[in-house]
Chain A
């Protein structure tokens, strides 16, 4: 259980990355979504004790973020955005090295690393230098470290950015196999929808909404999204394109007009709230 209490972050140059956010997380997998600069990474770094907040605190499994950071570090794993395994050591050694940082003994680390590498499908590549692994495999090495550590809370910052669709699906399955509570950031809406029990929407350092995918998309029941250059009534402008929401049964005629029809996704919530994800 994570309880965030009025956390804010102002950097030295005056930039406000988080403007006092409060919420609680009690589901197995929670995604934090939002456009670049929304404050997702800042929030995740604060919760994983990598960055000090300017004000506020959080309770992670009852441990206070400010007063008991050392206790929190014993129960969490945090994989930073764009983290890469050290390229001149093998996948197996990297996992074992990380486990040593968590205080695992030699044989304990060896057994846990083997189990985790098997589970994420990296066992046959265990002795390869991580430099020789594909992008997806490198990310899987980090998921293996999280799996092997058996942490209670796992923070993953953009775990699948830059990966091909097949690698992403593999990573999703690996994430689902984690025992602990997972909090991840992503700007892939389909990823949030596929993985999450709960979704937190952020924009400009604030929480816009929080809830399950079904709860959040309730207002879109029976609708589809129509995208095109033609401006319609009640359309939202996204870049050069107009987006409108129409009854699914009437959607066919828009295809004939050269427009694109898409099912409703989480990004439609941002569009309806006037947050341009591409800006």
Chain B
């Protein structure tokens, strides 16, 4: 593993570039905050705790859609992947670099949700720690899916609609801002294929809004492993 590349890419493309590209920080907040606003207004505040509990999940999923776009453009428009293929850096280093470079963009959103949770009296040390654990597993699974998706794109323009579909499938369909028991059990099970579903169900449990469905932690961990392995095996890195 080339940790120097992971650290170098995360620093230069992540931390270092945030100051030049701050509008993206706001963009990262746009979808989750909009959904919180709509849910809050439509439910007269009743479902606001659910939307807040699912806020970090939505922020990470939105970032994943951005990652898919970024990786596609790096490969097809900048030829950056080809440039890196001819070094000792491998596909996993490349993906980890992108994951860590994405953290500075998504971290302010996560901090904002924790702040809102605190304002609404929902934040405890327990749900803070558990949210961080869920976030790590979610970042790995969502980024792996984004990497897989981007590597299948033949033209850069195609990633536009696919990343939108990816984003909606990850954020709007799963119970990220409403109680998961609103859905029939079979649908929750079906939607569990999107890692945001087990993550959102777990968050609702950790915040005391629903009983904690611990088996969802197993599903999320399994998805992180399987999607990561799929990204490693099926991603087009060096062309055949």
Contact check, B86 vs A129: say whether CB atoms are below 8 A apart.
no
Contact check, B238 vs A84: say whether CB atoms are below 8 A apart.
no
A243 within 8 A of B: no
B152 within 8 A of A: no
Contact check, B8 vs A74: say whether CB atoms are below 8 A apart.
no
B13 within 8 A of A: yes
Encoded as 1 (CB less than 8 Å from any B CB) or 0, chain A from 39 to 64 comes to: 00000010011111000000000000
A73 within 8 A of B: yes
B9 within 8 A of A: yes
B17 within 8 A of A: yes
Contact check, A86 vs B79: say whether CB atoms are below 8 A apart.
no
**How far is A87 from B236 in the complex, measured between Cα atoms in Å?**
24
Q: Which of A19-27, A93-101, A227-235 contacts B (4 or more CB under 8 A)?
A: A93-101
Q: Closest residue of chain B to A70, judged by CB?
A: B88
Q: Closest residue of chain A to B89, judged by CB?
A: A101
* Among B8, B77, B93, residue most surrounded by chain A Cβ atoms (within 10 Å): B8
**How far is A163 from B85 in the complex, measured between Cα atoms in Å?**
26
In the complex, 23 of the A-B residue pairs with CB atoms within 8 angstroms, ordered by the A residue number, are: A49-B238, A50-B85, A51-B239, A70-B88, A73-B86, A78-B82, A79-B83, A80-B79, A84-B77, A85-B78, A86-B13, A86-B78, A87-B78, A88-B20, A88-B21, A94-B12, A97-B9, A98-B83, A100-B8, A100-B12, A101-B88, A103-B88, A155-B86
**How far is A89 from B14 in the complex, measured between Cα atoms in Å?**
9
Within the complex, the shortest CB–CB distance from B232 to chain A, in Å, comes to 17
Contact check, A100 vs B7: say whether CB atoms are below 8 A apart.
yes
A104 within 8 A of B: yes
**How far is A70 from B20 in the complex, measured between Cα atoms in Å?**
35
Chain A residues with CB below 8 A from B84, complex form:
98, 101
**Contacts of A75-122 to chain B: CB distance below 8 A:** 76-90, 93-94, 96-105, 109
Chain B residues with CB below 8 A from A89, complex form:
12-13, 16-17, 20
Contact check, A96 vs B12: say whether CB atoms are below 8 A apart.
yes
Encoded as 1 (CB less than 8 Å from any A CB) or 0, chain B from 89 to 103 comes to: 100010000000000
**How far is A199 from B20 in the complex, measured between Cα atoms in Å?**
44
Encoded as 1 (CB less than 8 Å from any A CB) or 0, chain B from 1 to 20 comes to: 01011011100110011001
Contact check, A105 vs B86: say whether CB atoms are below 8 A apart.
no
How many chain B residues touch the partner (CB < 8 A)? 29
Contact check, A83 vs B239: say whether CB atoms are below 8 A apart.
no
Contact check, B85 vs A49: say whether CB atoms are below 8 A apart.
yes
Q: How large is the interface on A (under 10, 10 to 19, 20 to 34, 35 or more residues)?
A: 35 or more
Say whether, besides A86-B74, A88-B20, A105 and B82 are in contact (CB < 8 Å): no
Q: A interface vs B, CB < 8 Å? A: 45, 48-52, 70, 73-74, 76-90, 93-94, 96-105, 109, 129, 155
Chain B residues with CB below 8 A from A103, complex form:
2, 4-5, 88
Within the complex, the shortest CB–CB distance from A55 to chain B, in Å, comes to 13
Contact check, B86 vs A48: say whether CB atoms are below 8 A apart.
yes
Interface residue from A52, A81, A93, A99 paired with B16 (Cβ < 8 Å): A93
B181 within 8 A of A: no
Say whether, besides A51-B239, A101-B5, A105-B4, A84 and B79 are in contact (CB < 8 Å): yes
Chain B residues with CB below 8 A from A109, complex form:
8
Q: Closest residue of chain B to A94, judged by CB?
A: B12
**How far is A99 from B11 in the complex, measured between Cα atoms in Å?**
13
A-B CB proximity, top 10 nearest: A100-B8, A83-B79, A78-B86, A80-B79, A93-B12, A97-B12, A80-B82, A101-B5, A101-B89, A101-B87
Say whether, besides A86-B74, A89-B12, A97-B13, A102 and B238 are in contact (CB < 8 Å): no
Contact check, A104 vs B4: say whether CB atoms are below 8 A apart.
yes
Contact check, B238 vs A51: say whether CB atoms are below 8 A apart.
yes
Contact check, B20 vs A129: say whether CB atoms are below 8 A apart.
yes
Contact check, B238 vs A52: say whether CB atoms are below 8 A apart.
yes
Say whether, besides A48-B86, A50-B82, A82-B79, A100 and B4 are in contact (CB < 8 Å): yes
Given A90-B16, A93-B17, 4 other A-B residues pairs in contact with their CB atoms under 8 A:
A50-B82, A98-B83, A103-B4, A109-B8
**How far is A81 from B20 in the complex, measured between Cα atoms in Å?**
27
**How far is A78 from B2 in the complex, measured between Cα atoms in Å?**
18
Contact check, B9 vs A78: say whether CB atoms are below 8 A apart.
no
